[in-house]
Amino acid sequence: MRFVVIGAGMAGVLSGIRLRQAGYEDWIVYEKGDSVGGTWRENTYPGLSCDVPSHIYSYAFEPNPDWSQRFSPGSEIRRYFEGVADKYGILPRIRFNEEVDRLEFEQGRWRITLKSGKRDEADVVIAATGVLHHPMVPEIPGLDSFAGACFHSARWDHSVPTEGKRVGVIGTGSTAIQITSALVPSTAKFSLFQRTPQWIAPQQNADYTDAEKASFRRDRVAFRKMADDLTRGFHETFSNGVVDAQSEQMKNLEALCRKNLDKSVKDPVLREKLRPNYRAACKRLIMSGDFYDAIQQPNAELVTEGIERIEPKGVRTKDGRLHELDVLVLATGFRVDRFLRPMKVRGRDGVDLEDVWKDRPNAYLSISIPGFPNLFMLNGPNGPVGNFSLITIADMQLHYVLQLVEELRAGRGREISASEPAMQRFSEEFDRAARNTIWATGCRSWYLDSRGVPAVWPFTYQRFTEEMARPVLANYELR
């Protein structure tokens, strides 16, 4: 069988490695960018780091004893993926600067059309397309009129100096918080435009010492145990807490966030401006050990007035004030409902994915779509993007997908996809569970679908591991 993998980020590199280990050699990876790394290639803004501990955010088969910090910077994470792709011989199989434009299922195979005009065919397509790479640009009047440098945080222009400049950042998600901490010390004036305050959990991010890294290299058993303990603690406290809004874990987490705010921000007026009116973790919880300190510096300002428009000299807020700026950064997030899109995808009998997903993206166990055989997604719709380490998830999903592919290799059929009844049952159970999660407690976030229902895996980590252990073939249509 021939495989096409779409994307050379974390999950795409992993797909190549696992396909080769399973004995498949006829495969290729198409990557729209010029290197591996996915979101860690796209995002290079100052202060970029992962909010999952690095020893968890690593391939289980390629642990890294040399992480510099518990939450390592983005550039280091990107180098890790580049090194793994090189070590495992994946790079020669990647076609860089080749973006997939169309997928069409015809006569039992997928016909692939690239934007370059090239064509390919495959028996199986694995979509490792990621979530955080289609920038969301806000519709603010006058945005194009700004005379200074203006760019999205995921398209950071490193030719633009920020030291000694007046810098404005629109947004208060994880990206904006990290940028604030990184830039406040060197800017003349820093303005953070806040529409909605965020709960922030304290994060200690000390460097690993040379002695600690040496011990990790020397004693791999102890190193593995440390990583396993981190994983267990992460899932038992956070992952399983957020899926039950009334859990003790959530109550403890909320108390921690309230204490962090009350203890860290001295000015009572600023403190209340920074206090959300929704529960902690309803939006993606932010981890930071230095944001509160940064936003209290004399050259930093938290702007809570709504934005009226952008003018050549800066941002005009609704109170009539003009905030003059040299650099304007849009830390406004991503279009997280894209998944396979903007690719045009047609399944069996010409069914258009855009029609299937007209209300919301949906997939059985976040992997398979009825009517789209032999097409499998990693970290697709309904996945645990907000509560687990995505490396662990992608590896579990690949293990599951390769068991489905084994049905094809064994000759028990040529086409396999989730059945409509299984999709319907899963969707109904998913929606019931989602309404009990912390994400459904009354805030607006990118976790919610068009109906206002959380679109993030609403079950426990244990449930996910059990589902991924072995497919229930009765829930699949095999032809």
389 has a pLDDT exceeding 90 = no
Same domain for 200 and 151, yes or no, is yes
Pairing of strands 166-170, 124-127: unpaired
Q: Is residue 225 part of a domain?
A: no
Half-sphere exposure of residue 102: CA atoms within 13 angstroms, side-chain side: 12
DSSP 127-143: E---STTSB-----TTG
Q: Is residue 230 part of a domain?
A: no
State the Cα torsion 261-263-265-268 to the nearest 10°.
90
279 has a pLDDT exceeding 90 = yes
Same domain for 121 and 63, yes or no, is yes
235 has a pLDDT exceeding 90 = no
Residue range 383-399: mean pLDDT, rounded:
90
Amino acid 56: pLDDT: 87
Q: Which domain holds residue 320?
A: 143-204+245-330
Same domain for 121 and 75, yes or no, is yes
Q: Is residue 224 part of a domain?
A: no
Amino acid 467: pLDDT: 97
336 or 54: whose pLDDT is higher?
Answer: 54
Return the structure tokens found at 430. 């998913």
Same domain for 394 and 298, yes or no, is no
Same domain for 319 and 420, yes or no, is no
307 has a pLDDT exceeding 80 = yes
C-beta separation of 438 from 282 below 8 A:
yes
Amino acid 345: pLDDT: 97
Amino acid 388: pLDDT: 83
Q: Check the CA dihedral 201-134-32-179 and report its sign.
A: negative
Pairing of strands 476-478, 416-418: antiparallel
Q: Is residue 212 part of a domain?
A: no
Amino acid 336: pLDDT: 78
Residue range 325-352: mean pLDDT, rounded:
93
Q: Is residue 228 part of a domain?
A: no
Q: How many domains are there within the chain?
A: 2
What are the tens digits of pLDDT across the range 213-233?
A: 999 999 988 888 888 888 888
Q: Residue 58 carries which DSSP code?
A: S
Task: Report the chain's mean pLDDT, rounded to a whole number.
Answer: 95
Same domain for 389 and 446, yes or no, is yes
Lowest mean pLDDT among 284-288, 332-336, 361-365, 400-404: 332-336
Same domain for 344 and 467, yes or no, is yes
Q: Is residue 213 part of a domain?
A: no
**Domain endpoint, select from 330, 351, 386:** 330
Same domain for 434 and 345, yes or no, is yes
pLDDT band at 152 (very low <50, low <70, confident <90, very high): very high
Beta bridge partners, 193, equal: 170, 303
Q: Is residue 232 part of a domain?
A: no
Residue range 150-163: mean pLDDT, rounded:
97
Amino acid 314: pLDDT: 98
What are the tens digits of pLDDT across the range 68-85?
A: 999 999 999 999 999 999
334 has a pLDDT exceeding 90 = no
Amino acid 232: pLDDT: 84
What are the tens digits of pLDDT across the range 191-203?
A: 999 999 999 999 9
**Domain endpoint, select from 290, 309, 330:** 330
Residue range 405-416: mean pLDDT, rounded:
97
Same domain for 8 and 69, yes or no, is yes
Same domain for 284 and 360, yes or no, is no
C-beta separation of 37 from 81 below 8 A:
yes
425 has a pLDDT exceeding 90 = yes
Same domain for 128 and 147, yes or no, is no
What are the tens digits of pLDDT across the range 426-471?
A: 999 999 999 999 999 999 998 898 899 999 999 999 999 999 999 9
133 has a pLDDT exceeding 80 = no
Amino acid 249: pLDDT: 93
Any residues with CB less than 8 A from the CB of 274 and at least 6 apart, and which?
A: 197, 261, 265, 292, 295, 302
Peptide bond preceding 471 in cis form (omega within 30 of 0): no
Amino acid 22: pLDDT: 97
d(CA 143, CA 151): 10
**Which residue's structure tokens are 């097409």?**
375
Amino acid 131: pLDDT: 83
205 or 236: whose pLDDT is higher?
Answer: 205
Global model pTM greater than 0.85: yes
Same domain for 266 and 399, yes or no, is no
CATH number, position 305? 3.50.50.60
240 has a pLDDT exceeding 90 = no
132 has a pLDDT exceeding 80 = no
Amino acid 339: pLDDT: 83
pLDDT band at 341 (very low <50, low <70, confident <90, very high): confident
350 has a pLDDT exceeding 80 = yes
Q: Is residue 273 part of a domain?
A: yes
**Domain endpoint, select from 330, 350, 376:** 330
Reduced to 3 states (helix: H, G, I; strand: E, B; else coil), residue 446 is: coil
337 has a pLDDT exceeding 90 = no
Amino acid 227: pLDDT: 87
